[in-house]
Amino acid sequence: MAKLIQAVGTYGPRVEVARTVQTRQIAEYIASRTSLNRGEIEGILRELNEAITFFTKQGDAVKLENVGTFTPTIDLGGVLDVGFRLDTSIDGALNAPGAFTGEVANRENVGKSSADLKQLWNTAHPDDLIP
């Protein structure tokens, strides 16, 4: 017996991530738009990492305007972590009509409910129905 999560994973829309942009590429992009060179920007990004680590280790949240907020968290076992909440300006830019130029798998299923995806699964898999 199949589960609803299988239908959502198979038929739900998802962004096809083309690649992971690395620090060097980000630094080159920023360098092309500023008077700083790539090496300086890579150094700044390393220092940003150190600053976020320093402040979250003290129990501080770190807000980077137009980027997001890093907040220290702890689980029941005492394991510390850092949560990240994306700045809404990035979501807004990404969701502006026509702004996204990447690929979306199962684009035809955007707006369908989980019940719709379940029906697609059950039609395609009559021997492994989702109840």
Tens-place pLDDT, residues 37-74:
999 999 999 999 999 999 999 999 999 999 999 999 99
The pTM (predicted TM-score) of the whole model is 0.79
Instruction: For residue range 110-123, list pLDDT tens digits in order.
Output: 999 999 999 999 99
Cα–Cα distance, 119 to 69 (Å, whole number):
39
Rounded (to 5) percent helix, strand, coil in the chain: 45, 20, 35
**Percentage of the chain modeled with pLDDT above 90:** 98
E-assigned strands of 8-120? 14-16, 62-64, 68-74, 80-86, 103-105
